[in-house]
Amino acid sequence: MPELMLDGLDPVVAERAGPFFSEMLRDPGDIIHSLHLTGSALTEDFDKKTSDINSVVVLKSMELGFLETLAPKGKKYRKSGVASPLIMTPEYVLNSLDVFPIEFLNIRLCHQTVFGGDIFRDMVIKREDLRHQCEREIKVKLIGLRQGYLSSMGDARTLADNFSSSITGHIPLFRGVIELKGGTPPLPAHKVIDTLSQSTGVDCSAFREVLSAKKDGYKKGSLDNLFERYYEATERIKKAIDEISA
């Protein structure tokens, strides 16, 4: 069986993801192009109790038989925090860079190839494509914040949950904005927020507060004010994106 390249990984990540990858390689025929880890499992944000281990499986061609073989293993590995992998082909990657530039930028910035060739390292993402998706995504997030606030109906627990899920989705977008502003997007979430503030001149303290509260909990009675600051900061990031020329 081919050897996996797990050097440098958090030991917990290697222990949990290694068997998953090994099982895929046990009898794959000749269909696997490469296997990659991505996301928080490669950063200091990784929490062995709560963080998912995300991966990308690149097949030489899309084989439904491989998916049928892999699907029953999901429940087994989900218990140890290994999420269902993204499945794609080199052709799909090449033809999707213009549609999902934020997603592929984040994979390029944060991945480790554990088997095969590194298809993501030299991806070229066009500035205009990234600019258009950043504009679209920030507008969608503003709508989501408004709808989430209304649907919480004043319930603090629901509003806190909305904040926590929202900031997770903001971080990949923020890396895209930093890239557009000519900066180097960092990997840890708190550094992303700090760099975003420096790149745009926007007060991002509300983002930092939500990120911290996701881990440590929210202060009682502070959520309405936090929502106002969080929403206003997101609105200012939208204006900063609007000012970026493609």
pLDDT, average across residues 118-137: 96
Does residue 55 carry a pLDDT above 80? Answer: yes
Residues 201 and 186: their CA atoms lie apart, in Å, by 17
- Beta pairing, strands 54-59 & 32-38: antiparallel
pLDDT, average across residues 39-48: 93
Label residue 1 by pLDDT band (50, 70, 90): low
Label residue 44 by pLDDT band (50, 70, 90): very high
What pLDDT digit, counting tens, does each position of 183-236 carry?
A: 999 999 999 999 999 999 999 999 999 898 877 776 666 787 888 999 999 999
The pLDDT assigned to 161 comes to: 83
Label residue 95 by pLDDT band (50, 70, 90): very high
